[in-house]
Amino acid sequence: MLRAALAMLLLLAVTGARAADDPVTALAAANAALAELNIPVTSGAAAGYVPDKTCALCHEDKAESFKHVAMGKSFYRPFSQPAIEDFATGYHHAPSDRYYEMEKRDGAYIFRRYKLAPDGTRIDVFERKVDWILGSGNHARVYLYQAADGALYQLPLAWYTQGGGHWAMAPGFEFKLHLGVGRQVRRSCMTCHNAFPQVAEGSDALHMPEVYPKDLPEGIGCQRCHGPGAAHAGRAIAGDEEAVTRAAIVNPGKLAREKLYSVCYGCHMQPTVAVTGIRRFGRGAYSFRPGEDLDAYRTGLDIVDPGMPKAERFEINHHPYRLEQSRCFIESGGKLGCLTCHDPHVKRTPAERPAHYRAACLTCHATDAAGLPLATTAPAGATSAHPQIAADADCTVCHMPARRTQDVIEVTMTDHRIVRDPGPGDLTAPIDKRVTEVAGVEMLDPHAPVPQDEALAARAMAVLDYTGGKAGYAADALAVLLARAPSRHFEPWYALAESRFRAADFRGALDPLAQAILRAPHHPRLRAMEAVALYGTGRKALGLQRMEALLAGRDDLPLARYQLAVMYRSEGRMDDAIAAARQALAARFNLWMAWRLIGEIELERGNAEAAADAFKAALAIEPDAERVSEGLVSALERLGRAGEAGLYRAASEGSGAASPH
């Protein structure tokens, strides 16, 4: 009934809008049909997408079914999905000696982190409303908050549903020293965890500000696999012929195998979370479209980990990576793939799974007279009897067993490396978190159609990204490569410049910066680095002038604004330094360095109260900042608050944190 009513509504809305043969006129009619129904269409870097609820106008059954698939509830606002957490319990992270709580208050999730001073007083309290939840809750949920400028940050606490449900540290936060509340959500993460948003053209280029609009899609929608849907939906609404309407959207099931699995592999082929693939030079984060080869969008990379052979590495997002190690996959000649077992529109219930997966296995494996699968032995290819099993047994229980994942240690997942015998031991037993050792980076597919020089540059860039720019040998290799074969793209020049910049080799950064700016003249991060590098090489007036010119009339570059504050302080312009720091904080309140700068200036001026307030704000965000703790103790002592100063001194000494701050 709903579909029929909608169809009639759409027909009435666009009567006379149909345009038969002229493509330009037809597209205009399609756009007019969408506009008539107030259906927005994205523009900019991710153009041509409509809200996923538009798809449900015609595909109601698939849209309803997809809501229950993990991809359909991968990202959402709190309470858009049912609350599953235990808000009555908190969590104590022993390595860092910090306490975590999640509270449900006034229709919101409220996150809280604090430390207990020796007398039990709560100090370094950080409290923030959760703006977004990432994760379906089938295995885990993690929580994000958004700064005023649009930057998203991941909170350290996660809810894990397995084992009855419990709080624990989110992946990557398990150790004593971690990123706390300052782990920014990169665009490379969001492109797989959600649908594409409305953002400006070019804003998704590498190292552009990692910010997002306040209004974001909720969940990986239809169009991530089928491509932008505006033309398709508009033509359907305008009443175009079915063939024309179908041609305006991608049906992945009709694509050639390489292009079909490029859709799945774009997010699920992740050899390791430690080193991700590098986007092909010139490609924006939101630029992949179903129907193209993944190699045209991304250079796939893998690592060499001396302590963890590839056959033993098992991470949460390892589905095709492990599948392709299977004899079943290799001998299928490419026939075995994601869609052999999975319908991306449907979530199989536990009762349905045994028969469903058994049927998938038996598309390749023959059975004997008793209906038991025939096991094949290599290399002769002879068959042998299968052990006796129930007629409705689930093949995957033995041959694709659930295992504890090594990167998200609170979770077990199905291992897609199909084995004949899983071997002894409990694969789901708890394990300790292990730091991945990256001894080398190599091409995931050595036959990928990526030019050799670009592949070499991508490998060096991946090492620099993994080490935070500290791998000097990778920077030197990149410099040699660019000297021999200068890239026409800015990305490798940026990587080289950033590595020199992070090492405070400002003079060495200027040449690759000039090359990068030549290729991307309006890139704000390049311009900011250039200004700081000029200032650092003694050309202070020019560096300051360049930074002020970059920031004139803008309030969207808080990191650059903080760097300007540092310059002003160095110049003795303390009022300007504080003003710039506060401007930075207005956009991104969690820039603890800006709070520290304000505290240090106020302390130098004798304004101990203002200094103490700034230092406390900094410590709430970054409680391991040793210099900040010392400043706060000094400010409190000047105020005559010796008892409070003693609490912070004791807490700082008790933490034993070897912080670089």
What CA dihedral angle connects 107, 109, 114 and 120, to 10 degrees? 50
Positive/negative CA dihedral, 323, 326, 328, 332? positive
**Residue 11 above 90 pLDDT?**
no
**Residue 153 above 80 pLDDT?**
yes
**Residue 85 above 80 pLDDT?**
yes
Of 150-154, 217-221, 380-384, 557-561, minimum mean pLDDT range: 380-384
- Given a contact cutoff of 8 angstroms between Cβ atoms, the answer to whether 220 and 195 are in contact is yes
Q: What is the mean pLDDT of residues 477-484?
A: 98
Helix (H) or strand (E) holding 429: none
Per-residue pLDDT band for 479 (boundaries 50, 70, 90) equals very high
The predicted structure's pLDDT at residue 12: 39
The predicted structure's pLDDT at residue 21: 52
Query: If you ran DSSP here, which 8-state letter would residue 302 be given?
Result: E
Per-residue pLDDT band for 540 (boundaries 50, 70, 90) equals very high
Q: What crossing angle do the helices spanning 626-638 and 592-605 adopt, rounded to 10°?
A: 30
CA nearest to 191, candidates 214, 160, 166, 216:
216
**Residue 480 above 80 pLDDT?**
yes
Q: pTM of the full predicted structure?
A: 0.92
For the chain, list the domains and their CATH numbers: 2-70+196-249 (no CATH), 75-184 (no CATH), 452-655 (1.25.40.10)
**Residue 377 above 70 pLDDT?**
no
pLDDT tens figures, 446-473: 999 999 999 999 999 999 999 999 999 9
Rg of the chain over all Cα atoms, to the nearest angstrom: 28
Residues recorded for the chain? 661
pLDDT tens figures, 238-258: 888 999 899 999 999 999 999
What CA dihedral angle connects 584, 588, 592 and 595, to 10 degrees? 40
The predicted structure's pLDDT at residue 184: 97
**Residue 1 above 50 pLDDT?**
no
pLDDT tens figures, 95-120: 999 999 999 999 999 999 999 998 89
% of the chain with per-residue pLDDT over 70 = 93
**Residue 2 above 50 pLDDT?**
no
**Residue 496 above 50 pLDDT?**
yes
User: Could you give the CA distance from residue 115 to residue 653 in angstroms, rounded to a whole number?
Assistant: 13
Of 306-315, 391-400, 632-641, minimum mean pLDDT range: 391-400
Mean pLDDT over the full length of the chain: 91
